[in-house]
C-alpha cells in the first residue's frame, strides 16, 4: 500500500534519490511525510566535532527519541551507508541554523554554513513506521489532510550527556482505541525509528497543556471517539540544542527530513 499524497509538487518523488536530487536543485522545499514510500527518512543534527562525543552518548542514552541510523566523518557531507549520491548540505528540503541556542536561519541549502569541523548525525524518523501503520489499515489524519504531524515538548526529561539535556519531544496521532492497540503492536517492531508509543490519553500527564497548540508541525483534530497517541520524536535534539545553546548547530526543519536509500523493511524486527 502506498501512502496517499495530496500535494501536486510531490509527483515523481518516489525514491530517496529522487527526493534528494529535487532538494539539491531547489525544486522541493516541503515536508516529506509520504514521499518515497518504502524508504527510511531521518532527522538531522549537525554539531562541531568537539561536541560530537557528548551528543553521540546522548543518543545512546535516549534511544527512543534519538535512534541513530547514520553518522558522518568530521567535515564529510557524505554518509555512504544511507545513500550513494548523498550530500547532507543540500539534500533536505529545509534546514535550521542555530547560534548560541537561537534560530538564525532556515535555508534550503547549508553549503555557505558548512565547516570542516562538523559532524552530521541522522536519527530515525516516525515517517518510516507510518507506512507500516497505513499498510495495516490504520488511518493517519495528518496524511489524510496533507499536513505535518503535530509535535509537542513534554515534561519528560531526557538522560543528560555533557551539555545536552532537556525535554523529550513527541509526535501525536489521534486513533480510535482499537487502532491505538494495533499501532502499539505494529510500531514496536521498529525500534530504529522510535518504536512503540511513549504515552496515550491525557496529554497533561506528560506536560502538554493544550493539544490544539503544537510546538512544531500542524494542528489536527482529536475526535470524541479517539485517543491522542504519542511517540518519541526526532525533533527532540532541537529542543535539547536550544537548551544547551552550543555556539553553532544545524538541524532539519520539522517535517523536512533526509530521505535515504535504506528500506523501511530492513528496520523491522520480527
Band of residue 130 on the pLDDT scale cut at 50, 70, 90: confident
What CATH class is the domain 129-236?
alpha beta
Band of residue 193 on the pLDDT scale cut at 50, 70, 90: confident
**CB contact at 8 A, 88 and 257:** no
pLDDT in tens, 200-226: 999 999 999 999 999 998 999 999 999
User: What are the helix (H) ranges across 71-202?
Assistant: 127-135, 141-144, 177-187
| Residue 4 scores a pLDDT above 50 | no
| Residue 1 scores a pLDDT above 60 | no
What CA dihedral angle connects 119, 122, 123 and 124, to 10 degrees? -170
The DSSP annotation for 191-231 comes to: GGGT-S-SEES-GGGGT-S-TTS-SBS------TT-EEEEE
C-alpha–C-alpha distance, residues 235 and 33, integer Å: 14
Q: Where are the domains of the chain?
A: 8-126+250-264, 129-236
Fold of 8-126+250-264: PSTPO5379-like (3.40.1640)
Amino acid at each position: 500500500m502506498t501512502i496517499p499524497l495530496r500535494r501536486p509538487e510531490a509527483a515523481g518523488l518516489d525514491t530517496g534519490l529522487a527526493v534528494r536530487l529535487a532538494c539539491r536543485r531547489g525544486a522541493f522545499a516541503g515536508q516529506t511525510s509520504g514521499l518515497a514510500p518504502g524508504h527510511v527518512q531521518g532527522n538531522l543534527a549537525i554539531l562541531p566535532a568537539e561536541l560530537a562525543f557528548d551528543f553521540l552518548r546522548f543518543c545512546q542514552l535516549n534511544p527512543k527519541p534519538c535512534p541513530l541510523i547514520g553518522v558522518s566523518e568530521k567535515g564529510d557531507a557524505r554518509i555512504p551507508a544511507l545513500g550513494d549520491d548523498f550530500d547532507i548540505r543540500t539534500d533536505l528540503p529545509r534546514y535550521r541554523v542555530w547560534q548560541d541556542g537561537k534560530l538564525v536561519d532556515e535555508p534550503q541549502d547549508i553549503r555557505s554554513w558548512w565547516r570542516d569541523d562538523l559532524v552530521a548525525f541522522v536519527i530515525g524518523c516516525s515517517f518510516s513506521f507510518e507506512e507500516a501503520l497505513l499498510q495495516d489499515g490504520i488511518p493517519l489524519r495528518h496524511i489524510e489532510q496533507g499536513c505535518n504531524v503535530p509535535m509537542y515538548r513534554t515534561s519528560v526529561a531526557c538522560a543528560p550527556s555533557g551539555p545536552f539535556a532537556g525535554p523529550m519531544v513527541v509526535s501525536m496521532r489521534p486513533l480510535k482505541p482499537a487502532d491505538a492497540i494495533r499501532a502499539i503492536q505494529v510500531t514496536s517492531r521498529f525500534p530504529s525509528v522510535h518504536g512503540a508509543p511513549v504515552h496515550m490519553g491525557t496529554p497533561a500527564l506528560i506536560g502538554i497543556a493544550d493539544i490544539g497548540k503544537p510546538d512544531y508541525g500542524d494542528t489536527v483534530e482529536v475526535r470524541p471517539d479517539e485517543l491522542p497517541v504519542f511517540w518519541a520524536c526526532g525533533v527532540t535534539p532541537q529542543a535539547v540544542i536550544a537548551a544547551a545553546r552550543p555556539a553553532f548547530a544545524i538541524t532539519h526543519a520539522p517535517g523536512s527530513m533526509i530521505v535515504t536509500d535504506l528500506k523501511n523493511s530492513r528496520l523491522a524486527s520480527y
